[in-house]
Amino acid sequence: MMVLFLGPLTQLAVESPRGLFHDVKAGLTDCQSWSKRVKDLKWLRNHVVAPLTEEFVFRACIIPMLVPCTGPTSAIFISPLFFGVAHFHHIIEQLRFGQDTVFDILICAAFQFTYTSVFGVYTAFIFIRTGHLVGPVLCHSFCNRMGFPAIGSVLEHPQKSLILLFYQLGVLLFFILLFPFTDPTFYGMSPVCSLLLTPRSACT
The conformation of residue 157, written as its DSSP 8-state character, comes to S
Specify whether 87 is catalytic. Answer: yes
Which of 15, 55, 87, 93 is flagged as catalytic? 87
Q: Are 91 and 119 in contact (CB under 8 A)?
A: no
Q: Cα dist. 72→5, 139, 168 in Å? A: 27, 20, 29
Q: Cα dist. 136→55, 79, 120, 141, 186 in Å? A: 7, 13, 9, 9, 16
**Taking CA 147 as the corner, what is the angle to CA 142 and CA 150, rounded to the nearest 5 degrees?**
135
Which of 22, 47, 54, 156 is flagged as catalytic? 54
Instruction: Work out the burial of residue 129: count CB atoms within 10 Å of its CB; fewer than 13 is exposed, 13-18 middle, 19 or more buried.
Output: buried
Q: Report the distance separating Cα 184 and Cα 19, nearest Å.
A: 35
Specify whether 15 is catalytic. Answer: no
Q: Report the distance separating Cα 49 and Cα 160, nearest Å.
A: 36
**Residues with active-site annotation:** 54, 87
